[in-house]
A and B are shown apart, each in its own frame.
Chain A
Amino acid sequence: MADMEKLYAQRMKRYVTAMRNEKPDMIPIRPFVAEFTAKYAGYTCQEVTHDFEKAFIAARKCAADFDWDAVVANMVYVWTGLTQAIGLKYYAVPGIDISPDVGFQYLEPPEDRAFMKPDEYDQLIEDPTGFLFNVWLPRVSADVCTGAGSPSLHGLEARAGSPCYGEAKWYRNNLSFLKGGMAMLSYFNSFGRQIELLRKESGTVSAIAGILKAPFDILADKLRGYLGLLTDLFERPNKVLAACEALMPHLTHVALSGADPDKNIPIGFWMHRGCVPFVSMEHFNKLYWPTLKPIIEEIWSHGHQVLFYAEGNWNAHLKAFAELPEKSIVYHIDNADIFEAHKVLGDKFCISGGIPNFLLSFGTPQEVRDYCKKVIDGVAGDGGYIMDAGAIMQNDTKVENIKAMTEFTREYGVY
């Protein structure tokens, strides 16, 4: 146990030193392994998605077997047992809607059936929390229903979720809140135990704490849909800006309330479709960035770093990110040119990732080692780099390639 505590302390120091853009004893390894953990531990995607205890076991097995400094306590984060209890309609669940061997999927409705209608911006802006309970939830849940006078009906049946006709509907409605609330509490409370077990069993650090999404991405992902939001950018840009501004204090509050009280571990920030070419540079500059940058600055004023998980390629916006206070973020690279990102951001921020997922899935161990060398040589010379793949690793990732990435980094990544 004492050895494990010593190992944990070493790893924490290594991880935090790199995240502060300084030089640790060696390059920390922090792979975001999702459904890969199922493959490695002998589970199906259905098992780790629908039974979070199996996901926890799989994450701990990987942490114990590989020499990793930090992992996400459960990167298969969406527990579909919980989403079913609430009745959420926007998931394809492994083993029910899709093959048991495929990771869960998000389903975005067509533009005309978006979860928020184009003329509902004012309702959202005036009272985001009320809008979510009264309008959004009845539409995204198969069980939460709407009664007469409900704001989600708004006089039009077609807008509604499921109307509350009859005892059976009310029964399901009430149970959705009861089961959903208790399941969420049970799930969140289980993370404390999981993080403690990671520490005790393998000396592994929990990689992130808390969640942040950009106001613009929330509008696209869960409210208007990507296509609906694109239409709004041209037809009602002022409403989009006001809605983003209305969401800002809430997203900041949620991020801070889940943050690491010790201020070591960063808040995970999941970046989706706010970059060129999903939107124009003008829309990024006028809408996305002005409603995100103050959130990051506010979080940093409380002493918390934010991990920019830049899914896809956000290199068109590096100069904007460089405006942020030094050390306030850790910048993760997916498909973008990591060397260009390091050139622009490397003086101020730690960089992570950049090892292509296609290489980890379809390449050879030697190709993985060669690529890791290229990245380490290019960006890790002065510290401030964390080894990881570009995107979360699913069950197509080869075990031998993960081993190659890990072993090479341990051999070559010593300062």
Chain B
Amino acid sequence: MDKQKKQKRKPGVCIPWEEKQKELPKISGDKELVRKVWEDIDSLGYVYIWQCLLSF
């Protein structure tokens, strides 16, 4: 699986944090917290579409 072409979006990701971060003002507080919460919620979008495809 390592040989595969690089894809636009990795597994588990709909909108990468790196992309979202560019839209935000400079984060004065805990940047890691913002990243983690973004990625946790973003992964639910991924679950939605892939479970639609696989399970329903």
Contacts and interface: CB of A to CB of B under 8 A. Distances in A.
A51 B12 CA distance: 29
Contacts of A251: 54
A250 B51 CA distance: 11
A246 B54 CA distance: 15
B31 interface: no
A211 B55 contact: yes
B7 A254 contact: no
B53 A88 contact: no
Interface string B35-56: 0000000001011111111111
The A contact surface, by secondary structure, is: helix
B7 A127 contact: yes
Nearest to B48: A181
Contact of B1 (A78, A136, A218, A294): A294
B5 interface: yes
A246 B5 contact: yes
Contacts of A336: none
B11 interface: yes
Given A137-B49, A246-B4, A252-B1, A78 B9 contact: no
A246 B7 contact: yes
A364 interface: no
Residue among B8, B13, B49 with the most chain A CB within 10 A?
A: B49
Interface of B: 1, 4-5, 7-14, 44, 46-56
Given A180-B48, A250-B11, A125 B54 contact: no
A301 to B, nearest CB: 11
Interface string A109-128: 00000000000000001111
B4 A257 contact: no
A128 B54 CA distance: 13
Contacts of B47: 184, 254, 257
Interface string A153-190: 00000000000000000000000000011001100000
12 contacts: A88-B56, A127-B9, A129-B9, A129-B46, A132-B50, A133-B14, A140-B52, A180-B52, A184-B48, A253-B11, A254-B54, A298-B1
A82 interface: yes
A136 B49 CA distance: 10
Nearest to A140: B52
B1 A254 contact: no
Contact of A249 (B4, B46, B51, B56): B4
B48 to A, nearest CB: 6
Contact of A125 (B5, B51, B56): B5
A253 B49 contact: no
A130 B8 contact: yes
Interface in A241-274: 242, 245-246, 248-254, 257
A126 B6 CA distance: 8
Contacts of B5: 125, 242, 245-246
